[in-house]
A and B are shown apart, each in its own frame.
Chain A
Amino acid sequence: ETGVTQSPTHLIKTRGQQVTLRCSSQSGHNTVSWYQQALGQGPQFIFQYYREEENGRGNFPPRFSGLQFPNYSSELNVNALELDDSALYLCASTPSGISGGGNEQFFGPGTRLTVL
């Protein structure tokens, strides 16, 4: 087990609602990245947080926002949910400020979001 936990495991929302997903990073990891994984697809980078600041963003609209807290837990918030937001949302923590380059990303098990 990587030590990265996510909650809730599953979530059902209706179109237009707002949702908050939570991630608890592995101890000592100060960087967290969030990904959206649609069914049958690879993870798509949403954004990354480092020391509580956004540190890079993928091609996602502003209604996807995040927070990182001093204890390295983090949240992904999605406003005005759309049907296409249905996906597995993964967070991944990294020991330092730069993912990759030898610094492994440790993924959580994900939150399965269904938008009806």
Chain B
Amino acid sequence: QQQVKQSPQSLIVQKGGISIINCAYENTAFDYFPWYQQFPGKGPALLIAIRPDVSEKKEGRFTISFNKSAKQFSLHIMDSQPGDSATYFCAALDSNTGNQFYFGTGTSLTVIP
């Protein structure tokens, strides 16, 4: 049972374009939603994270949009660059009761010059 559903599986974007990756969850107890970036041969690295008390968080070119009522959140990468080509994972955690992160299945992003 997939606790966090992620789409699309793969994404190709032109340099300078906007990359959008979406995630949905069912467990309303989740209260921490990070996004991770993973390059081949490397472990995931935290990119940006949000809590459900805000609807948007921006860090540089990366923005998380959060819709609590729809139980959805998304990652927007503005002005996408070839160096952003990687696999992106969303995740969710109920920090009050557990320490188990639930990851999405990943999105392979390719930014073409």
A residues apposed to B, CB below 8 Å: 2, 4, 31, 33, 40-45, 48, 55-56, 58, 90, 92, 98-102, 104-105, 107-110
If over half of A's interface residues share one DSSP class (helix, strand or loop), that class is named, otherwise mixed; here it is: loop
B residues apposed to A, CB below 8 Å: 4, 6, 31-32, 34, 36, 41-46, 89, 91, 93, 95, 98-106
- Whether the pair A99, B101 counts as a contact (CB closer than 8 A) is yes
CA distance A104 to B95 in the complex (A): 12
Chain A contacts for B105, CB-based, 8 A: 40-42
Distance to closest chain A CB from B34 (angstroms): 7
Distance to closest chain B CB from A53 (angstroms): 13
- Whether the pair A105, B46 counts as a contact (CB closer than 8 A) is yes
Chain A contacts for B34, CB-based, 8 A: 100
Given A41-B105, A44-B103, A100-B32; 20 other pairs, CB 8 A cutoff: A2-B45, A40-B105, A41-B106, A42-B6, A42-B105, A43-B103, A45-B100, A45-B101, A45-B102, A90-B43, A90-B44, A98-B95, A99-B101, A100-B93, A100-B95, A100-B99, A101-B32, A104-B46, A107-B36, A107-B45
- Whether the pair A107, B106 counts as a contact (CB closer than 8 A) is no
- Whether the pair B45, A109 counts as a contact (CB closer than 8 A) is no
A109-B101 contact given A99-B93, A100-B32, CB 8 Å threshold: no
- Whether the pair A98, B99 counts as a contact (CB closer than 8 A) is yes
Chain B contacts for A92, CB-based, 8 A: 43
A-B contact pairs, 16 of them (CB 8 A): A33-B99, A40-B106, A42-B4, A42-B105, A43-B103, A45-B101, A45-B102, A90-B43, A100-B93, A101-B31, A101-B32, A101-B95, A104-B46, A105-B101, A107-B36, A109-B42
